Each structure stands twice: as structure tokens, then as C-alpha cells.
Chain A
Amino acid sequence: MADLRASVPEYDKEDGEYKVKVICLGDSAVGKSKLVERFLMDGYQPQQLSTYALTLFRYQTEVGGKDVCVDFWDTAGQERFNNMHPSYYYQAHCCILVFDVTRKVTYKNLPNWFKELRQYRPEIPCLVCANKIDDVDYKVTQKSFNFAKKHQLPFYFVSASDGTNVVKMFREAIQSAVGYKENTTDFTDLVMRELENLDDLSLSNDVDSGVDTAGNSAETHTDEADEEQAEGATGTT
């Protein structure tokens, strides 16, 4: 466990590079990996984190005149048995939630993924995308999906296969990630990270009970809005 922190990138430390982390979430085989591949195209060396079977893709871009280094995190199949490791959510700045328009069950499972995301990252921007529209002759694009509307999340019809709206969606994801990072107090994140560093990150594989470990409970409270709510509740208003 000692080399865990060395192998997992830090996103909230300001060491010259402006970094954001974007994660993809959704059922097995909805096309998460293909979407990231389509956005990045060739020439990107995925970086494999040895500690966990996670893949991350680093992408350099510019947002509002600022150089930004974006890490896209992709699972290596941990979505199976809904066994996402807490470190996947850790310090994420934006989430792309994917379902497959050819398979109803992947849409029906969105609330579960969203719920888990919110347990770890209550405030980060989340985008919903309906993938594989090429596979149903685009007919599905005449329909509206209530999930995104209900949670007021931006929604995209995409195809990793022919590329429809993939670049647009990823660009907007990067922008919201940067926007989120700009608006959270680095101070809060910093304090939380210090607290976290006191403990060994002995994260268990069990996501449910994993919430009790130091790493996770700190993570759940990293968001500024949470802190403010807590203070508000003690009667400052």
C-alpha cells in the first residue's frame, strides 16, 4: 500500500500543471472505452495504474487560454458486479454517464450509477450520453429520455462508431471539469488531503463498507457545498 499514493496521480495539488480528472461510468459494454478512444483517436499511450486495473488517458488542451492536462479514467471492467473502486471517484472533476440505446437495462441502471457517483462526489458536473445511435438508424434521437431531465443533467446523443457528437460532448465535459475545479476551494480539498494522508489508504474492495475508510469519508466531504451546508446548519444564518 505504501506506493499507492505514488502511483495514483494527484489532481488537487498545484504543482505547476493544471490537471483535471474526468471519469466514465455506466454498465458493461455500453461503449465507454470506445467513446474515449474515438475522442482521443490514435497516438495516445494509455497509462496503466499498476495498483488497480484502471486505465487512464492523458490529454493536453486549452480552456479559456489556460493549458489544461486532462486525465480520462476508464475502467478495466470493474463495472462488472458494480465493483467500482473508490479510488476511481477520488478527486474526479466531472463524470460522463453512458448508456446504450440498444439495451434498455443499461438505461434502467443509470440511477444506480448516479447514486453511487453522488455518494463519492456529491457536486461534480455529470453529463449523460446515449451511445450507439448509429445502431438503431438514429430513430431513437426522436425520443426524449427523462433521466437526464429529472436530474437536470446535460444530455447527448452520440455514436462512438461514426463519431456523432463525441468531440462536442468531451469538450463540454472538460469545460465543466475546469469550471468545477475553479469554483471549489482548494483550501478544503487541501485540508482533506492532509487528513487523508495521516491514514494509510487501506481501501477495501467492497464499495459499500468502503465508505467507512478514511480515504472515502474524507472524499465524500471534499465538496465545498457540503461544508457550507454543514456550517449553515449550525446556525450562522
Chain B
Amino acid sequence: MSRQYSLRKCGIRFDPPALFVTYTDKSAGKTRCRTMPIRNFTKTSTVTRFVEDFRKNPRHKKYLEDVPKSQLEKLLRLLQDNLRGMSLDQSLNEIRKEYSIDPNEDLNKVDEETLRKKKTAMEDSFEKNRKKPGDPDFEYEVERDFQPVETCEWDSGDSGSDADF
């Protein structure tokens, strides 16, 4: 998408169900909207499968490239919660909770689906900051020296917790 189009936003319409993106077509200098109908999506559909299908779909792919996967998942979840009769507020609240990262939550102890959602959320920054082969500034070996000047606050106030180790 980045070369010819630049993404402006991606959203969902409930009825009839569709994903849409608005983007700027750089060569034409125009803002356009593309609507992608969501077919056969029900109360019990697997959200991740639909997300994968959209991201792989040859007709939609290039418009969705820059949309974070987590956002597509959240949008389809909104639709699904709506089909289930949940209020928009409640749905938004739950989704926000499920896809947010609490720095103190021990993710070794959560169930697999919870972990999957957190990892999907973490992928946003991973993809955003990523330098990969083919990028103009990609280098295999990136070395940087850092000189810490202060002590990390995570080390204070825990003297007992790892006393013997």
C-alpha cells in the first residue's frame, strides 16, 4: 500500500457487514474509500480465520497491508459482539482490555487465547519498527553501544524477592 496508496483509516460497517478503508491515492492525489463485504460471518465464526482470509485475499490484500492485524481482529470482534446483541460500549470495553498490555501481568499464567491476543497486540510495534531485508536501510548486523547513566527503578524496593539468587 505504501508506494501508491497511503492508509488513512480502516473501519467496519455492521449492516450489511463490511470492512472499509479510506486511503490517499498518491498518484491521483485523491482520497478514496474501498468497501469489502464480509460474507458468511456469524455469531460463532472464528475471527482470526476471517482476518487471515482478508489479509490473503488477492483483491483486498494491498489495501490491508498497512492495517495492523490487531485492528482487523478488533473490528471483526465488534461486529461479532454486535451480532450477539452486546452493546457497543461493553464490547469496546472488553476488546480494549483483551488487547492491552499490563506490564505487571504474568503472561506465563494466562490461557492460550489470552496470550495469543496479547501477542497480536504486541505485533503492532514490532511491525511498525521493523527493518527487514529489502528495506532501504536494512542491515543484517546492527551494532550499537549504550552507556547506561542511571539505575533502573525496577531494581529498587524488592530486596527480599531474589535474595538467594
A residues apposed to B, CB below 8 Å: 27-29, 34, 41-42, 77, 79-82, 102-105, 107-109, 111, 114-115, 132, 134-135, 138, 140-147, 157, 159-168
CB-based contact B152/A144 at 8 Å: yes
CA A122 to CA B70, docked complex, whole Å: 41
Q: What string of 1s and 0s marks CB contacts (under 8 Å) between B115-154 and chain A?
A: 1001100100111011101000011111110111111101
CB-based contact A168/B141 at 8 Å: yes
Tell which of B112, B129, B165 touches A161, judged by Cβ atoms closer than 8 Å. B129
Q: How far is the CB of B97 from chain A (nearest CB, A)?
A: 16
> What 7 new A-B contacts, CB under 8 Å, besides A102-B103, A104-B104?
A29-B122, A41-B133, A104-B154, A135-B126, A141-B146, A141-B148, A167-B143
CB-based contact A142/B148 at 8 Å: yes
Q: How large is the interface on B (under 10, 10 to 19, 20 to 34, 35 or more residues)?
A: 35 or more
B residues apposed to A, CB below 8 Å: 101, 103-110, 112, 115, 118-119, 122, 125-127, 129-131, 133, 138-144, 146-152, 154-155, 158, 161-162, 165
Residue of A nearest to B133 (CB): A41
Residue of A nearest to B107 (CB): A28
CB-based contact B101/A107 at 8 Å: no
Tell which of B104, B130, B143, B148 touches A105, judged by Cβ atoms closer than 8 Å. B104
Residue numbers in A under 8 Å from B140 (CB-CB): 41, 163, 167
Query: If A135-B125, A160-B126, A162-B142 touch, does A142 touch B162 (CB 8 Å cutoff)?
Result: no
